[in-house]
Amino acid sequence: MPDLPQRLLSPAFDIGVPFRPSIYFTDTVHRQIRFPRSKKKRIRRKWAKQSRNWETKTVPKNEAYIVGGVLYAHPAVLQKMCDELNRRMENRIAREIFG
């Protein structure tokens, strides 16, 4: 198991549910990064078949699962959830103060 980023271990990172960050909640995205100058369909098909013209990235899934009362998600998704909860709490406090 890889080391967790320090921002996930800090006490400020609290979403009210026990959670387990998992780097395995990822998708792979393939996209063509090189294109021929030619606009001909036949040439473009040839270039699309060559692997050197493609790039593969892993991106976090925007999914979270609760299994047995524990929340599982990618660390980036957990950070987004925490930021959103903090923003909503600040808005609620501001509404109570300023009416």
Q: Are residues 20 and 32 part of one domain?
A: no
Q: Are residues 65 and 19 part of one domain?
A: yes
The domain total for the chain is: 2
**CA-closest candidate to residue 69, choices 20, 14, 21:** 20
Contact by Cβ (8 Å): 2, 23: yes
Mean pLDDT lowest among 45-49, 56-60, 95-99:
95-99
Q: What is the domain range of residue 55?
A: 28-60
DSSP 9: H
Is the pTM here over 0.75, yes or no?
no
From CA 82, how far away is CA 79, in angstroms rounded? 5
Q: Are residues 65 and 17 part of one domain?
A: yes
Q: Residue 53: which pLDDT band, with cuts at 50, 70 and 90?
A: very high
Quick one: what percent of the chain has pLDDT higher than 90? 29
Q: Are residues 32 and 21 part of one domain?
A: no
Q: Are residues 21 and 65 part of one domain?
A: yes
Q: What is the C-alpha radius of gyration for the chain, rounded to an integer number of angstroms?
A: 21
Q: Are residues 67 and 21 part of one domain?
A: yes
